[in-house]
Amino acid sequence: MLFQGTHIKNPSKMSIALILSGFATVFVAFYLFLSLAEEVWENEKFQIDETVNQFIASFNTPGLTNTMGYITETGSVMWLTIATVLVAAYLFFLSDKSNWVVLFLAINMLGISGLTKGLKLLFERQRPSVIEEFDGTGYSFPSGHSTGAVTFYGFMIYLVVVSRLSKGWKWAINSFLAVWALLVALSRVFIGVHFITDIMAGIAIGLSWLLVCIAALEVMLWRKRRFKNKQDQLKMTSSSN
């Protein structure tokens, strides 16, 4: 059973705090993206790109590069598409799910794909190197692997949070998912197909889109629970009369 009960409660102080934190995160992330985008639009060079490249080159090895190559595949379009379809199928057929969750998972992934492609075409930033083996083709800003990893693995984190797993399992699984999403993003720098600023922008826009989708989903689920609760109350009133 994936989702918790459908009883309605008034928003708690913790819920309000989480909502406000979510809005603050979206604001900061979007501000970071806009700041980077402005510089990229003006073809400015970032010192942090060169600094990070030099730092990674100081300890990178062929073995580490190969490892990062395997990790980066878990942020590829094919991998994320297959994973999304499997998760959607599980939610739809096997779990105690809501169709809204499946719908917003699709919106989450399709939306970030279209948004990323549109931004790449808008900024037309060239890559540090082109490596077709690791999907290192096309424009660079923002990193598509970063946006995809943040939105997909982030949505998995959300599903775990609202599941009935114990707190210990939630912390363990979500810590792994968060670290893995970050590794997928950073792997793009290790294999040399993105600048670190591409990664930062990808994480920022991916996180913003993810939180917007989750917030919209939660609103729809709350309205659904509220409607069901009113229907149940009407039935009880009718039966008592």
Q: Which of residues 123 and 74 earns the better pLDDT score?
A: 74
Q: What is the mean pLDDT of residues 65-89?
A: 94
Q: Which of residues 116 and 37 earns the better pLDDT score?
A: 116
Residues whose CB falls within 8 Å of the CB of residue 55, separated by 6 or more in sequence, listed in order: none
- Is the pLDDT assigned to residue 4 strictly greater than 70? no
- Is the pLDDT assigned to residue 110 strictly greater than 80? yes
pLDDT confidence of residue 125: 87
Banded pLDDT at 8 (limits 50, 70, 90): very low
pLDDT confidence of residue 182: 96
Q: What is the mean pLDDT of residues 143-147?
A: 94
- Is the pLDDT assigned to residue 217 strictly greater than 90? no
End-to-end CA distance of the chain: 35
- 83-105 in b/e burial notation, b at 16+ Cβ within 10 A? ebeebbeebeeebebbebbbebb
What is the average pLDDT value for the chain, to the nearest integer? 84
Cα(123)–Cα(39) distance, rounded to whole angstroms?
10
pLDDT confidence of residue 82: 96
pLDDT tens per residue, range 176-192: 999 999 999 999 999 98
Cα(146)–Cα(120) distance, rounded to whole angstroms?
13
Query: How many other C-beta atoms lie within 10 A of the C-beta of residue 134?
Result: 20
Cα(85)–Cα(109) distance, rounded to whole angstroms?
10
pLDDT confidence of residue 121: 92
Q: What is the mean pLDDT of residues 185-212?
A: 92
Cα(171)–Cα(148) distance, rounded to whole angstroms?
22
- Is the pLDDT assigned to residue 171 strictly greater than 80? yes
Q: Which of 81, 138, 90 is nearest to 112 (CA)?
A: 81
Residues whose CB falls within 8 Å of the CB of residue 157, separated by 6 or more in sequence, listed in order: 174, 177, 178
Banded pLDDT at 100 (limits 50, 70, 90): confident
The amino acid present at 184, given as its one-letter code, is V
Cα(204)–Cα(200) distance, rounded to whole angstroms?
6
Banded pLDDT at 3 (limits 50, 70, 90): very low
